[in-house]
Amino acid sequence: MDLTALDQLLAERGEPRFRAAQVWRWVAGGARSYADMSNLPLALREYLAASLPLSTLSLRGEQVASDGTVKALLSTTDGRPLETVLMSYRDGRRSVCVSSQSGCPLTCTFCATGAMRFGRNLTSGEILDQVLQFTRRRPGVAPTNVIFMGMGEPMMNLDNVLAACERLPDLGVTHRRTAISTVGWIPGIERLTSTDMPLRLALSLHAADDALRSELMPVNERYPLADVLAACRAYHERRRRRVFVEYVMLAGVNDRYEQALALARALDPRIFKVNLIPYNPTDSPYAGSGREAIAAFKAALEEHGLPATVRLTRGRDIDAACGQLAGRAAAA
């Protein structure tokens, strides 16, 4: 919902101040129409129904993977495409992977979103509506976690991302169960460090040396590795929460034994926790490391005191897995 527009409409009608909060409570709880909002005067319900859509996004397509992961292709009112993914786990967690931008201005060479045209930053309403479209489908079984790991670089749109985070608890998602993933955009990491919300920080690292990292992620030229890691340590120092490091496993590129050692040397296990990501195929020239290579890399890290997990790949058969979001309509 466009909350600024809501405030304006209510003010124009001379409605009391508490009305906006009333409407928001209904929306945050997954109401599907204004008609449901039984504590609003009927005339106001009708007026809002005629003037303000309940969601800023419209659903353009949807796919369900064999593991139950759902990918929604959504469109903003000005026609920008974005994708959102819902992953349900056996332990009851329901994680929504949200996009912070339509497309991405960064050009990480292995990522499908990086190859699509950058549209624009998403508003806080558009970010929240990605979660809400799942809340509405199954009232009472709201999402439990939100990860900013969909399209875009959240730290390049941090005002809107943080404004959305402020309201996530109204949707049932606490700040501790919200994670923001970044390429290492230092000003954003610094701001996250100083907010009052206990949000989790995740860092897309992918290489422990500057030359290779710059090749994979050109943004490394602007914010080199040592500075990024220092910013993450400062976050940990202040927030006392581990930083999750994402490391996508590319065959013959960043999966050698010496590279595991360099990674183990670079990261203090008291501060960082490594998540190895099996590479999901895109149109890029890279091939993913095989299962054995990933296991060997993990063992090498652990031998050197750095615990690591391997990310469970979800939704790969519908291009919903990490790095595969490109806003394409599903092939019929």
Which spans of this chain sit near ligand SAH (rule: CB under 6 A)? 108, 110-111, 149, 153, 181-183, 204, 246, 248, 277, 279-280, 282, 322-323
Residue with Cβ nearer ligand SAH (2 or 153)? 153
Residue number, 86 or 183, with CB nearest to ligand SAH? 183
Least gap, CB of 112 to ligand SAH (angstroms) = 6
Strand partners, 101: 121
Question: 299 and 274 in contact (C-beta within 8 Å)?
Answer: no
Residue 250 has what DSSP assignment? B
Looking at 97, 108, 232, 322, which residue is catalytic?
A: 322
Nearer to ligand SAH, 52 or 250 (CB): 250
Shortest distance in whole angstroms from residue 263 CB to ligand SAH: 15
Minimum CB separation from ligand SAH for residue 50, in Å? 38
Active site residue 104: no
Query: Interhelix angle for 124-137 vs 158-167, to 10°?
Result: 40
Query: To which H or E segment does residue 145 belong?
Result: strand 145-148
Least Å distance, CB 279 to ligand SAH, is: 5
> Which of 12, 62, 83, 246 is flagged as catalytic?
83
Nearer to ligand SAH, 23 or 202 (CB): 202
Closest residue to ligand SAH in the complex (CB):
323
Output DSSP code: residue 332: -
Contact partners, residue 279, CB within 8 Å, separation at least 6? 110, 248, 249, 250, 251, 286, 287, 288, 289, 323
Task: Specify the amino acid at residue 308.
Answer: A
CB 58 → ligand SAH: shortest distance, Å? 23
CA 135 – CA 115 distance, rounded (Å) = 30
Instruction: Tell me whether residue 83 is one of the annotated catalytic residues.
Output: yes
Looking at beta carbons only, is 48 or 65 nearer to ligand SAH?
65
Structure tokens belonging to residue 222: 């602007």
Could you tell me the two tokens for 137? 């489908």
Q: Tell me which residues are annotated as active site.
A: 83, 322
